[in-house]
Amino acid sequence: MKLTLLAALCATALAMCSCKTIDRAGDAVLNTFRGNPKTAEEIADTSLPAASVNHNTAVMTLNVLGAKRRVVIQLDPQLAPKTVANFKKLVNAGYYNGLAFHRALHGFLVQTGDPATRSDGDRSAWGLTDIGYKLGPEVSGKHVKGALSMSRTNTAIDSGDRQCSGSQFFVMLRSDTKLDGNYNVFGKVTQGLEVLEAIAGMTVDTNDCPAKRMEITSLRLVPVDSPELLTGGTQGRIKPEGEKGKGGRFFGRLW
């Protein structure tokens, strides 16, 4: 009887310890984007994701005017290894889930990754923040249509500092060689670019932010042979809301 009771007490203690360990681990991950971002040094010290979550294909699910839409991304670690590694860490931590697109320039690009977009409380702040650390330049990629590239601040551009945002990225909707050599291109959209083009055709405010919230409901890494990649494109067509947002305005604000 005593042995049985002792075993039960040990099992309970072990379970409580395990739960606390899991909670602490979860808190460490959430601290990357819950008002207490990790420093660049802390991110650098974090090991790469396990092989099971270290795929180079990502599926981004969006809520576009109440409809579920999908965008498939192919990462290129040979082109920008540190940028891709950082992106994977954020994806695996769930950082991008719940963020909105804060920049939409018709026929040019769409942009996301600002933690301020988790809330609609102050849209004037959208596009002005990031995760709290910068990435070094990996600028050999080309800004062709569909390319993913990390953003930079106007201050960095003006001063010649080629460091990029740690979390904000944009997707090119047309090729633009003027951006080459200035931003970290780290992948491309292989499916669903028409979804992002439709978002870029929506009505925007004076800061080129979509008037209606366009949210990332999930962004996750998947194996290249995942069945969900074989289902074809998105269902239905999203009708743009008209022309707006000239490409030159991209440089009139941060990022």
What are the 10-residue block averages of pLDDT along the chain, 255 residues in total?
43 39 34 46 52 86 96 97 97 97 98 96 92 95 98 81 94 97 97 97 95 97 90 52 47 45
Q: Rounded to a whole number, what is the distance in angstroms from the first to the last CA of the chain? A: 67
Domain annotation covers residue 72: yes
pLDDT at 97: 97
Domain count within the chain: 1
pLDDT at 228: 84
Domain annotation covers residue 101: yes
Domain annotation covers residue 12: no
Domain annotation covers residue 6: no
Cα separation, 140 vs 183, in Å, equals 9
Domain annotation covers residue 34: yes
Buried-exposed string 143-156: b where 16+ CB fall within 10 A, e elsewhere: beebbbbbbbbeeb
pLDDT at 141: 97
Do you know the residue count of the chain? 255
Range of the domain at 239: 26-252
Task: Indicate which CATH number applies to the domain containing 221.
Answer: 2.40.100.10
Cα separation, 92 vs 87, in Å, equals 9
Cα separation, 38 vs 43, in Å, equals 6
pLDDT at 52: 57
Domain annotation covers residue 10: no
Domain annotation covers residue 14: no
Q: pTM for this one?
A: 0.77
Domain annotation covers residue 228: yes
Distances 123 to 132, 197, 213 between C-alpha atoms, Å? 19, 22, 10
pLDDT at 155: 77
